[in-house]
Structure 1
Amino acid sequence: MAIKERSLEETPTWAIAVVCFVLLFISILIEYFLHFISHWFKKKHKKALHEALEKVKAELMLLGFISLLLVVLQDPVSQICIPKTVAKTWHPCSHEQEIAKYGKDYVDDGRKILEDFDSTDFYSPRRSLATKGYDKCAAKGKVALVSAYGIHQLHIFIFVLAVFHVLYCIITYALGKTKMKKWKSWERETKTIEYQYANDPERFRFARDTSFGRRHLNIWSKSSFTLWITCFFRQFFGSVTKVDYLTLRHGFIMAHLPAGSAARFDFQKYIQRSLEEDFKVVVGISPLIWCIAVLFLLTNTHGWNSYLWLPFIPLLVILVVGAKLQMIISKLGLRIQDKGYVVKGAPVVEPGDDLFWFGRPRFILFLIHLVLFTNAFQLAFFVWSTYEFTLRNCFHHKTEDIAIRISMGGLIQVLCSYITLPLYALVTQMGTSMRPTIFNDRVANALKKWHHTAKKQTKHGHSGSNTPQSSRPTTPTHGMSPVHLLHNYNHRSLDQQTSFTASPSPPRF
């Protein structure tokens, strides 16, 4: 006999107060923790990470709003009725599995009716379900689109997805930073006398005899097919080597910075700032990625055997991205040889957007973002379905299904965060233009202020030509370098090791 659940008017007020107090206490703790992290980012001048944290909070608010909508619309959605013939299609379980788990009556009728009498005889006999929830469409000979209990289970899935969204953001950033730590020692090496001697600008060498040439100008580089195969496996064994880092650093400086600034420019910190800017994109969830996540839910249908192919799609995408990034480095080496077999000084690579797919370096970031989120989504779905329906259920009832989902989830997360993302952070600097993160936050803010003041001065010059010169705001004249405004910042940060010569106009942001 089913037992009638108590409503709030039948529940002791102290029990309600205790539950509300615990929920409020946990929520306030989380809020203060996020506020502490935000304050710490501001104190450390981590503007990009602070904005990334704000974006994560926005995504969590979106998930909370979705959960709130499910609460409000639970009854209306559960009263949407569809024919039984339609309701029997696209189930995660086979018909035999549903009969074995729920019984033939439940599967055929969509519900199982019992008579329930309250012991006090205060309530009249009513019909209730032996399972959780109640199908109000049964009287019409139909089935609910999603039952009330099904919507409750969606609430739990949204919570699990929110937890995994935060976890994958933390793991992604932590693994990427761990991989890039060794780049600091490479950057320090560029300030030594030994490095200056080894890269003597007056020294002539064959391109293939340089360290960069020996790595990329070999027998495997003569054919596009063999070069792709080599680059595919190279990402697993030293995806970013010292020689690649130093050569790409030299090429970036020669292409974008004034002569003589190589020894003072910190390329590693520039990459770190750029990666933090890209991290703001990675933690967000675009509408397109949400649509792809919904399609993932659609594939968990009996007969599709999605466990045999779905977890491998993100793996294939990230492996192709890693091979493409290695291919770009190799093509930079081939361009050096195309210009001549003899090089003077260190090999100079020539950056260009044409090396990337569709001429868009940011497209690779979209693919990395897509792989990271879909992988986190699949892991969240696996944990949720295990919690709701035990380890072996209709979504993964075979041992190989469970093994594939767990192993692929861990492998893709490590491969994408520890190997591909740092490789992207380095290679994406080989685009045609440099990024605004070439300046640290203080310099960037000063330049933006300079730009705003210059625009204001220009506007006053056109609209109020009769204004006395002494009453106009003091601004730099056209042709003055922004470096004059930044003189006071020269020794405030270790980041400011870049020297710039006078330029006719400030860089655009």
Structure 2
Amino acid sequence: MAGGSSSGRTLEETPTWAVAVVCFVLVLVSLIIEHIIHLIGKWLKKKHKRALYEALEKIKSELMLLGFLSLLLTVLQGPISGICISQSVGATMHPCSKKQEQTISTNKEEEDISDEHRRKLLSAFSSDSATTTSVRRILAAGGSTDKCAAKGEVSFVSSDGIHQLHIFIFVLAVFHVLYCITTMFLGRLKMRKWKKWEKETKTIEYQFTNDPERFRFARDTSFGRRHLNFWSKQPILIWVVCFFRQFVRSVPKVDYLTLRHGFIMAHLAPQSHTKFDFQKYINRSLEEDFKVVVGISPAIWFAAVMFLLFNTHGWYSYLWLPFIPLIIILLVGTKLQVIITKMGLRIQEKGEVVKGFPVVEPGDDLFWFNNPRLVLYLIHFVLFQNAFQLAFFAWSVYEFGIKSCFHEKTEDVVIRISMG
């Protein structure tokens, strides 16, 4: 009995020390994680990182939501697996082809026959009462799983499927948090070079070069030479040039200094040029945006469900689904470059000659549907979808191996990882 049915033992037949050890380890790990999060929160409060502290609280709430989903799956595992549907309905939209499913079924049957043979050999050395108990348990387990099969139907989602879904939820939570933290780190890393540009604005040389009493042609300024060209007034060429610019240097020095000057002129006193730290302001803005990015809105959850739905054999989702986030982020990058160029055109429309530093004027009308936050939501969607796809890949490899029907072709593996 000990060998054949150890996986089916109840707590009545399990040593109390084993149960206590498992509970102790789970509680200890939970307390350690909670203490680490608490220490991070205290450090953020000490450093006056209000936005990042709120982001941490949002991460905690998202993890709680994912934990609640996992709990619901545990509680409803029996009722869900007990729902029976017709075999014709259950045979639709599978991730594997029928040939692959037959191969998987054959392998499982061979494993079951091998296990049954091993069980019979082991039961020969056990007592009669133990054998009777083991047989009863096996029959009981078989009866619960064959409830739908007895009706000529299949289970809505099997118990094994729900267990695998548990693991996927855990992997998704880990990847989402890691992806957000990585994005935050890369953003800060990119902005480090802006510190040097910010220090340059405090020098006498910079103030002399950008003398407010100095008159220049708009097209002769550094900003004008970069953006005011023959292509900037062509509706198609402007998008083509801006598309390729995002790959070279998304925020060059001249754009940073011009945007800094325009922000100060719009929101602060002119004499604030040498005192205001625009780079620190952008850092704080990144933290505020990070607070939005770490959340998972209902619309994004719906998109994740659609991703699971489209991962069907014959739909070739690996050839188009991973490219949707890539296309969105390239459109966003191009749009931001177009916005900067159009701000430069507005300077020229006011007059060929500018006094001092060219002053850009941002406006909501430059964004899609006059909504600047739409760009942030799109970036948020891309981050979650990338994390979701990488989590799905890691989970499927863990559960089914690198060669499974979720990614049967090498191209699928390469596309998923590279796009993520």
Instruction: Compute the TM-score of the two structures, normalised by the length of structure 1.
Output: 0.76
Aligned to 2:216, the other structure's residue is in SS state: strand
Unaligned runs of 5+ in 1: 107-112, 410-509
Give 1:284 shift: 0.2
- Conserved? CA contact 1:78–1:135, under 8 Å: no
Give 1:219 shift: 2.4
- Conserved? CA contact 1:114–1:128, under 8 Å: no
- Structure 2: distance between partners of 1:278 and 1:272: 10
Q: Counterpart amino acid of 1:190? A: T
- The alignment status of 1:277 with 2:280, answered yes or no, reads no
Q: How is 1:39-438 mapped onto 2 (pairs within 5 angstroms)?
A: 39-103=42-106, 119=126, 120-123=130-133, 124=135, 126-127=138-139, 134-409=145-420
The structure 1 segments of at least 4 consecutive aligned residues displaced by more than 3 Å after TM superposition are 1-4, 113-119, 124-130
Judged with a 3 Å threshold, the aligned counterparts in structure 2 of structure 1 residues 15 and 263 are, in CA distance, closer, same or farther, namely same
- Structure 2: distance between partners of 1:268 and 1:104: 60
Tell me which protein shows more helix as a share of its residues.
2
Give 1:278 shift: 1.0
- Structure 2: distance between partners of 1:179 and 1:135: 58
Give 1:258 shift: 2.1
Give 1:3 shift: 3.7
Give 1:114 shift: 7.2
Deviations 1:277-309 (CA, angstroms, capped at 9, x unpaired): 111000000001000000000011000000000
- Conserved? CA contact 1:317–1:371, under 8 Å: yes
- Structure 1: distance between partners of 2:145 and 2:33: 35
- The alignment status of 1:10 with 2:1, answered yes or no, reads no
Give 1:121 shift: 3.0
Given candidates 35, 38, 48, the residue that maps to 1:35 is 38
Q: Kindly indicate whether structure 1 or structure 2 has the higher relative contact order, using CA contacts under 8 Å at least 6 residues apart.
A: 2
What's the % identity of the aligned pairs? 68
- Structure 1: distance between partners of 2:263 and 2:180: 29
Q: Counterpart amino acid of 1:64? A: G
Please, what is the CA RMSD of the aligned residues?
A: 2.0
- Conserved? CA contact 1:114–1:129, under 8 Å: no
Give 1:165 shift: 1.3
Match of 1:19 in 2: 22
Q: Counterpart amino acid of 1:121? A: T
- Structure 1: distance between partners of 2:312 and 2:363: 45
Aligned to 1:103, the other structure's residue is in SS state: helix
Judged with a 3 Å threshold, the aligned counterparts in structure 2 of structure 1 residues 203 and 105 are, in CA distance, closer, same or farther, namely closer
Match of 1:469 in 2: none
Instruction: Compute the TM-score of the two structures, normalised by the length of structure 2.
Output: 0.92
Q: Counterpart amino acid of 1:152? A: H
Give 1:135 shift: 4.0
Unaligned runs of 5+ in 2: 110-114
Q: Counterpart amino acid of 1:269? A: K
Judged with a 3 Å threshold, the aligned counterparts in structure 2 of structure 1 residues 319 and 105 are, in CA distance, closer, same or farther, namely closer
Give 1:351 shift: 1.7
Deviations 1:61-113 (CA, angstroms, capped at 9, x unpaired): 0000000001100101100010011000000000001111212997xxxxxx9
Q: Counterpart amino acid of 1:157? A: F
- Structure 1: distance between partners of 2:30 and 2:108: 43
Deviations 1:405-427 (CA, angstroms, capped at 9, x unpaired): 11111xxxxxxxxxxxxxxxxxx
- Structure 2: distance between partners of 1:22 and 1:347: 63
Give 1:347 shift: 0.6
- Conserved? CA contact 1:135–1:147, under 8 Å: no
Give 1:134 shift: 2.5
- Structure 2: distance between partners of 1:37 and 1:172: 18
Q: Counterpart amino acid of 1:98? A: E
- Structure 2: distance between partners of 1:210 and 1:129: 79
- Conserved? CA contact 1:81–1:144, under 8 Å: yes
Q: Counterpart amino acid of 2:49? A: K
Deviations 1:102-152 (CA, angstroms, capped at 9, x unpaired): 12997xxxxxx979876533335554789xx93421111111100011111
Q: Counterpart amino acid of 2:180? A: C
